[in-house]
Amino acid sequence: MMRPSSVCAGTFAFLVCGLVSAAVSAEEGVIEQPYDGFTVWVDCQRRGAVRFEYTATRDTGNLPRRSSFGPDPDFPAECQQTTGASYKTDGPRYDRGHLVPANHLDDRPKGIRQSNFMTNILPQAANMNYSLLYFVKGAQARVFHPDRLPMQVCPHCAGDLRDYGGYKAKMNPKGVNLSDVWWDIAPVRHAKYKRRNGANELPLKVLDRVIEMSTDEGDLVFDPFGGAGTTYMAAELKDRRWLGIEIGPTDDIVRRFSDNHSGQRILLDQRSSLNTLFTEQVRRIREKTGWWTCESVREKQSSKEERQLELEQM
Ligand SMILES: C[S@@+](CC[C@H](N)C(=O)[O-])C[C@H]1O[C@@H](n2cnc3c(N)ncnc32)[C@H](O)[C@@H]1O
């Protein structure tokens, strides 16, 4: 591991922008709203931003952010959300979070205050609060192996959370496509599970997925913000080479490497429940309770086809 001396010494700035939804821009009813340091485009009818843009610069500020969202007095009230409370859903809980992060605007009092306007809200899974930006060099990634995830089911009864109607037979037995929101990995919340105080530690499972998706064995993984060393541990366990930098103490990272068995178990556990529509345990419960499974749907489909054939031959 290298100790940094000149890393981040120069200024850096890059444009961060995103589309919250696929259908954007010239759409009618979308209002562009410039603020100090960022811009959002709000779909008035849906009362939500569909696009944002800001330039991330070197982190020099430390202004505190406000704890609650409030209306933008200079924006039509009927185009804004009316509460900062959690969304009401039957499934997982979604809080209202910042679209453009307040802490990227913490060098300007006006901008950080504006980031708490109702125009800058997006749904945020309550059990998940990290954002990853994905960039590739060139037109497409050299390596791209996204995981497929098991279908989301009711945690206790293993039943469907939504009605798939006639589409069950069309579902890929290898699982559902990885979406932009990774709901299946819980954050490292409790201090007792954190390796190093002060580092906002990512779960090993997140790094497992990132590394699996974007590298092959033997590739070099570089993380210049080591923290508790999660990236390095995941890279090590997944037979990638790695290079790291950490400006703070590195003892906890070094200590972490003296016991990589627990990490190995976490990754094995994670891998064994991916790339299948139902995990073994869920499939067993569903068979018992009579919920459809890939096998039962396939059986039903082939007897339907046989019957159709018989009818045609009559
Ligand atoms: C959010 S933590 C990274 C956590 C890490 N991904 C993990 O899961 O353990 C960010 C780390 O970057 C380090 N850091 C911040 N500025 C740095 C710099 N200029 N050079 C090297 N490390 C830096 C901080 O000390 C902190 O430990």
Q: Which pLDDT value is given to residue 1? A: 40
Look at residue 52 and give its three-state secondary structure: strand
Instruction: Give every CB contact of residue 196 below 8 A, 6+ residues apart in sequence.
Output: 227, 228, 229, 248, 249, 252, 253
**230 in a structural domain:** no
Q: Please report whether residue 290 resides in a domain.
A: no
Strand partners, 176: 149
Determine, yes or no, domain membership for 57: yes
CA angle 205, 206, 212 (to 5 degrees): 85
What is the whole-number distance in angstroms between the Cα of residue 201 and the centre of ligand 1? 9
pLDDT at 226: 94
- Rounded CA separation 230/235 (Å): 9
> Domain for residue 205, yes or no?
no
Question: pLDDT tens per residue, the chain (314 residues)?
Answer: 433 222 233 345 566 666 554 334 456 789 999 999 999 999 999 999 999 999 988 888 889 888 899 999 999 999 999 998 888 877 777 889 899 999 899 999 999 999 999 999 988 877 666 778 899 999 999 999 999 999 989 888 899 988 888 788 888 999 999 988 887 887 776 666 677 766 678 899 999 999 999 999 999 999 999 999 999 999 999 999 999 999 999 999 999 999 888 899 999 998 999 999 999 999 999 999 999 998 888 888 778 878 888 888 87
- What is the total count of domains within the chain? 1
CA distances from 92 to 144, 160, 161, 285, 291 (A): 29, 14, 10, 21, 21
**CATH number of the domain enclosing 41:** 3.40.570.10
Let me know if residue 217 belongs to a domain: no
The structure's pTM equals 0.64
Domain annotation covers residue 298: no
Q: Looking at residue 67, what is its pLDDT?
A: 83
Which residue, judged by its Cα, is nearest atom 26 of ligand 1?
Answer: 227
| Model confidence pLDDT, tens digit, residues 78-122 | 999 999 888 887 777 788 989 999 989 999 999 999 999 999 998
Question: How many Å apart are CA 246 and CA 227, to the nearest integer?
Answer: 7
Summarised one tens digit per residue, pLDDT across range 243-273 is 999 999 999 999 999 988 889 999 999 899 9
Amino acid at 173: P
CB 229 within 8 A of CB 194: no
249 lines ligand 1 (CB under 6 A): no
292 lines ligand 1 (CB under 6 A): no
CB of 132 within 6 A of ligand 1: the answer is: no
pLDDT of residue 5: 28
Dump strand ranges (E) for 46-114. Answer: 48-57, 94-98
Calpha distance 49→19 (Å, rounded): 9
Atom 17 of ligand 1, residue of closest alpha carbon: 247
Contact 94, 86 (CB under 8 A): yes
138 found inside a domain: no
Q: Ligand 1 pocket test: pick from 8, 246, 253 the residue with the most ligand atoms within 8 Å of its Cβ.
A: 246
Q: Which domain holds residue 92?
A: 13-125
Q: How far is CA 89 from CA 54, 83, 95, 125, 161, in A?
A: 31, 15, 11, 11, 12
**52 lies in some domain:** yes
d(CA 44, CA 25) in angstroms, rounded, equals 12
Report d(CA 265, CA 83) in Å as an integer.
Answer: 42
